[in-house]
Structure 1
Amino acid sequence: MNLNIIKAEKKHLDDCKVALQNSDLGRVYFPQENKAINAINEGISKQEILVALNPEGLCLGFVWLIRNGVFHSFPYIHIIAVKEEYRSLGIGREILDYIEKLVAESSKIFLVVDDFNPKAKLLYQKVGYKEVGVIPDLYKKGINGSLMMKVLL
């Protein structure tokens, strides 16, 4: 798909909320609408959220990228979410490719994927991310987070 990936604006808030809340990640960490909205508002205000738009301008998903999020040195993908009806079309992979090109000056990029989300972990592994550690109870008791890293060439 030919996506246009741009900085998110307030007008994208509702689309981002829908993508997030209808994801496995959102159901666990952002089940209340206000919690999802507050988080996305924070990312937009920090100019850390990018949205993926189709050629007609429809927002299909978003990514929250923190440029120096890991050890104050490496990019960190905090959240990535694609609207439910657009999943399995390669949009997540296209967003990841875009982000990796955007931060190509870095030697590595990181993300965390939780153990309740094996499909996401498989996608990350397919595109070259390696698990470098497991953090028990990272964000919520009983949920282990896999720290994933990709070496950028």
Structure 2
Amino acid sequence: MKTEFSIEPCEKENIKKIVDGINEYNLSKVPAIADIWTRLEFVAKDENGIEIGGILAGLGYWNGLEINILWVKEEYRKKGVGTRILKHAEKIAIEKGAKISMLDTFDFQAEEFYLKNGYNPIGEMNGFPEGHRRIYFSKELTE
């Protein structure tokens, strides 16, 4: 029996239904440790209040630190700014009960940075983008 359906662009209410649907399924399999997504988003500013870096991350239902973006302005790279931002987010995540951190990056971005900061590669995709690698990392968080 063939099921008839349409595929359409998402509206805001559709996105909520999709997110609620996957969360309901996931939580039926593994109970939540935390009730909601806890944003851990921080910006680093120079002495003039200009943004020189930042991190967009958060803690999910199972209290894992998920790092989506960590950026440092080019002239501030290799000066400890990124490490300080990362350690700040990790420290707060640990205080909130996180035991693991996870992220992905590309070989042309921050592979060496994450290795230097104790992250372990757990997988990679070769040829994405063409001629490069996308690397997935995790790190056990300890105080």
Global fold match (TM > 0.5): yes
Partners of 2:65 and 2:93 within 8 A in 1: yes
Residue matched to 2:139: 150
**SS in structure 2 of the partner of residue 145 of structure 1:** strand
Cα distance in 2, alignment partners of residues 48 and 85 from structure 1: 24
Structure 2 stretches lacking a partner, 5+ long: 1-37
Cα distance in 2, alignment partners of residues 141 and 89 from structure 1: 28
What TM-score do you get using the length of structure 2 for normalisation? 0.61
Deviation by residue 1:41-76 (Cα, 9 ceiling, x = unmatched): xxxxx96532112344332111111322xx865221
List 4+ stretches of structure 1 deviating above 6 A. Answer: none
**Structure-2 change in CA distance of 1:135 and 1:66 (3 Å):** farther
Residue matched to 1:92: 82
Residue matched to 1:74: 64
Query: How large is the RMSD of aligned CA atoms in angstroms?
Result: 2.4
Structure 1 stretches lacking a partner, 5+ long: 1-45
Partners of 2:54 and 2:72 within 8 A in 1: yes
Residue matched to 1:38: none
**Structure-2 change in CA distance of 1:133 and 1:141 (3 Å):** same
Question: With CA pairs under 8 Å and 6+ residues apart, which has the higher RCO, 1 or 2?
Answer: 1
Whether 1:125 and 2:115 are equivalent positions in the alignment is yes
Whether 1:107 and 2:96 are equivalent positions in the alignment is no
What TM-score do you get using the length of structure 1 for normalisation? 0.58
Q: Per-residue deviation at 1:85? A: 1.7
Cα distance in 2, alignment partners of residues 47 and 106 from structure 1: 13
Higher Cα Rg, which structure = 2
**SS in structure 2 of the partner of residue 103 of structure 1:** helix
- Which one has a larger percent helix, Structure 1 or Structure 2? 1
Cα distance in 1, alignment partners of residues 56 and 140 from structure 2: 19
